[in-house]
Amino acid sequence: MGVSLSWIAIEGKSSEALHSQLGLSETGEQGGVLDFPMVGLTLPSGWYLLVAKGCDHKMLSDRVLGNLSSEASVIGCSVEEHVMFSSAMLWREGGRIWSIRHRGGDYGIMDLVADGEPPSSFDQLRAEFFSKQQLEGGESADVDLIFDIPLELAKSFVGFKHDEKTPDVEDDGFRALRLELGGFLAEATKPWWKIW
């Protein structure tokens, strides 16, 4: 069974300030990264990480990322292993600097879309993973290594990848979070029946 999740990591903002801005609070429970609908943790790199179940969580919306990045750098990732979709992006000063997407599925194993101005490390990652994919059989391989490019690029900034052990982070050290009324995330997550 594949993983479906979204995550953002914020540099330069405390967890308390971020929780207040987004309308989140800690439940007092701790566990693994996928044990609760949403978890948070300060990474050893200093970035504060929020992880939510579902690859299309509202925290990855332009509205939320634009607001958060007005005062901090924000890396966002989306993972849907069922169709081998992955994406990573950097937002700063209220705007998206770059985004990288592997759409998988009908787009094929070799699909990779880059927008904006990716960091110079992107070219090296792309060359390395495309070379490995060719050695595995290219488009007809049983493995999709291109899927990892956006995730590895995000990891190079914050030190987190959902399917790897993060050094100096306990597997059950993630703090469960709940959405409160008020806050920017609650405004971006209105119920399906509200059309206004």
Q: CA–CA separation, 8 vs 195, rounded Å? A: 27
pTM of the model as a whole: 0.91
3-class secondary structure, 124? helix
Predicted local distance difference test score (pLDDT) of residue 1: 58
Q: Are 118 and 101 in contact (CB under 8 A)?
A: no
Report residue 193's pLDDT band, with 50, 70 and 90 as the boundaries: very low
Report residue 146's pLDDT band, with 50, 70 and 90 as the boundaries: very high
Q: What is the mean pLDDT of residues 160-187?
A: 88
3-class secondary structure, 151? helix
3-class secondary structure, 40? strand
| Mean pLDDT computed over every residue of the chain | 92
Strand order in the sheet with 24-31: 24-31, 174-179, 38-42, 48-53, 4-11, 73-80, 85-92, 95-102, 113-116
What is each CA distance from 27 to 9, 22, 39, 181, in whole angstroms?
20, 15, 10, 15
The 10s digit of each residue's pLDDT in 67-91 is 999 989 999 999 999 999 999 999 9
Those residues whose C-beta lies under 8 Å from the C-beta of residue 73, and which sit 6 or more positions away, are 10, 11, 12, 90, 91, 92
Please choose, from the candidates 61, 28, 88, 87, the residue with its C-alpha nearest in 3D space to the C-alpha of residue 185: 61
Q: What is the mean pLDDT of residues 108-122?
A: 96
